[in-house]
């Protein structure tokens, strides 16, 4: 079994609730994502939020991205920022409420500005990232080569295939910078070959930085389990209104995280079955 340890909390969701027209959609959502450290490896986090259609996954996605505010509760992230403490020492991180723009967001339809070419869109995103100042073009070249979209730099979104749009969306959000990447149903509508490529691509992204954290909202349980280190199940509890996190499954404990041929393992099938039963 792989050695790992869980360190600081990177994202904390506390008692989050959301209602629409007095109908409770999400209730008492409570979970946290911690920095997973593997000795000698640069390893980010991949977390999946799974649940049935219409359970409120997209609403939770919007809350996590900061695009919408919850009715109650708080969503806080750990930010890299030198903060002076009372005793004169300096802390490099601070916890603060999530704001729009804190998380890279990949929408389900990979939405892009229709009036910008791929290069223009990527350049706009790279210019938001202070760490890339003066090196925007190099960064775009590197990412587009790595994600195999360098041939479409001068095309408009309408001229791209679905797979290319997805990759461009991911690059755009990566260029913008930040530790979190939220993906809404990234596996839906993909054929088997493309699905493997997307999984491989997301693993690459997660390995790019120790604090890089991917939060995948999906109803594709098998793929979510295959790629993640932790799965949160969004479901309903008997007699209570609204959805909540009904179960947290630590895939590292079960030896299912970071394994290439994980789908062949018996415990994988058992875990998928277990999740399905919870839905």
| Binding region for another protein (CB under 8 A) | 65-67, 100-101, 103-105, 107, 109, 111-115, 124-125, 128, 156, 158-159, 172-173, 176
Report the alpha-carbon distance of residue 158 to residue 203 in Å, rounded: 27
Q: Are 128 and 177 in contact (CB under 8 A)?
A: yes
Least Cβ distance, residue 109 to another protein (angstroms): 8
Q: Are 184 and 61 in contact (CB under 8 A)?
A: yes
- Whose Cβ is closer to another protein: residue 35's or residue 184's? 184
C-beta neighbour count of 113 within 10 angstroms: 12
Two tokens, residue 27: 């209730």
- Whose Cβ is closer to another protein: residue 118's or residue 272's? 118
Least Cβ distance, residue 246 to another protein (angstroms): 28
- Whose Cβ is closer to another protein: residue 54's or residue 100's? 100
- Whose Cβ is closer to another protein: residue 61's or residue 268's? 61
Two tokens, residue 80: 């890299």
DSSP 216-278: EEES-HHHHHHH-SEEEEEEE-TT--SEEEEEEEETTTTT-TT-TTGGGSHHHHHHHHHHHHH
Least Cβ distance, residue 98 to another protein (angstroms): 12
- Whose Cβ is closer to another protein: residue 149's or residue 233's? 149
Least Cβ distance, residue 277 to another protein (angstroms): 35
Instruction: Give exposure, 55-81, as e/b (b: 16+ Cβ within 10 Å).
Output: bbbbbbbbbbbbeebbeebebbbbbee
- The torsion of the CA quartet 217, 221, 223, 225, rounded to 10 degrees, works out to 90
| Angle at 24 (CA atoms; ends 18, 29), nearest 5 degrees | 50
Least Cβ distance, residue 54 to another protein (angstroms): 20
**Coil/strand/helix, residue 4:** coil
Least Cβ distance, residue 259 to another protein (angstroms): 32
- Whose Cβ is closer to another protein: residue 174's or residue 201's? 174
Least Cβ distance, residue 263 to another protein (angstroms): 32
- Whose Cβ is closer to another protein: residue 22's or residue 115's? 115
């Amino acid at each position: 079994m792989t050695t790992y340890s869980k360190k600081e909390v990177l994202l904390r969701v506390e008692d989050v609730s959301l209602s629409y027209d007095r109908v409770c959609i999400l209730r008492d959502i409570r979970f946290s994502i911690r920095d997973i450290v593997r000795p000698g490896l640069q390893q980010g986090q991949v977390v999946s939020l799974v649940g049935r259609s219409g359970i409120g996954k997209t609403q939770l996605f919007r809350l996590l991205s900061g695009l919408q505010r919850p009715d109650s509760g708080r969503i806080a992230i750990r930010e890299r920022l030198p903060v002076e403490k009372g005793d004169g020492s300096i802390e490099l991180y601070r916890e603060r409420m999530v704001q729009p723009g804190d998380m890279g967001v990949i929408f389900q339809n990979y939405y892009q500005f229709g009036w910008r070419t791929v290069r223009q869109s990527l350049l706009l995103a790279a210019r938001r990232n202070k760490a890339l100042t003066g090196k925007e073009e190099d960064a775009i070249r590197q990412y587009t080569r790595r994600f195999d979209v360098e041939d479409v730099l001068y095309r408009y979104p309408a001229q791209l295939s679905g797979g290319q749009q997805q990759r461009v969306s991911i690059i755009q959000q990566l260029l913008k910078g930040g530790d979190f990447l939220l993906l809404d149903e990234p596996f839906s509508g993909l054929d088997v070959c493309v699905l493997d490529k997307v999984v491989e691509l997301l693993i690459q992204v997660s390995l790019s930085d120790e604090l890089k954290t991917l939060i995948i909202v999906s109803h594709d349980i098998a793929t979510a389990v295959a790629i993640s280190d932790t799965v949160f199940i969004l479901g309903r509890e008997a007699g209570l209104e609204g959805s909540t996190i009904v179960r947290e499954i630590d895939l590292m404990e079960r030896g299912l995280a970071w394994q290439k041929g994980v789908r062949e393992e018996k415990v994988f099938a058992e875990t998928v079955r277990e999740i399905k039963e919870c839905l």
